[in-house]
Structure 1
């Protein structure tokens, strides 16, 4: 089984962690899903963005990750987004993504409103964490997505 969940802002990450997260995201989103897009963006660098990940066999291998960032478009003080959720092919079906999501949700707490853009096939996974679909399905980088929200309690 994969190791402990790690977390940190970009400023707290060392070079090996940045490399591991970048390599996993590139492997899943760009290579496996065949989407040529700029995965690395300025949101990764924002001081409030927190990266969650699990290392594989070493510090330069991440097997699952996600990021939590402030939802600046919402206007709410406790509004957040979860994004870049991915898991290495070898770890899928092990519950690792659920562990990461739960860690992120625990960190945000019930008072936070949280949104995400889910690949449509994964909407059921996110429903387990209280997310509900909003609006119509849309295409992003050629992949069907749904906007989902978990309301603050």
Structure 2
């Protein structure tokens, strides 16, 4: 991943001749849900909500680096350790999402951009988990667009 391995000096041509850079996109939504569910043991419906939040953040362009499936897995595993639920009213869930997604999407970011990213994360949690409480048997709410009208101007 050239973005993560950028150094102070340009790579030597001999080394670059032995490397191929491939641009890969994110997995489709269903695959991300299944990976998160499999790696964490979280219920499918809860994994789907986490994926919707992360995909919504990706779509918002309110980040320095796009959030990845790793962030989804980290959120899901941390929820299990903390015995928290994917619930907009669970302060532990909200904080886990904020901590993991904020750190995953920013390396240098300004205070203003980090603050905006956090606002978007909280809005997405509220939208994706709207009208739901408790874990387990919730239905996944359809969520057109994922971006709140206030964040569309980004």
TM-score, with normalisation over the residues of structure 1?
A: 0.28
More strand by share: 1
More helix by share: 2
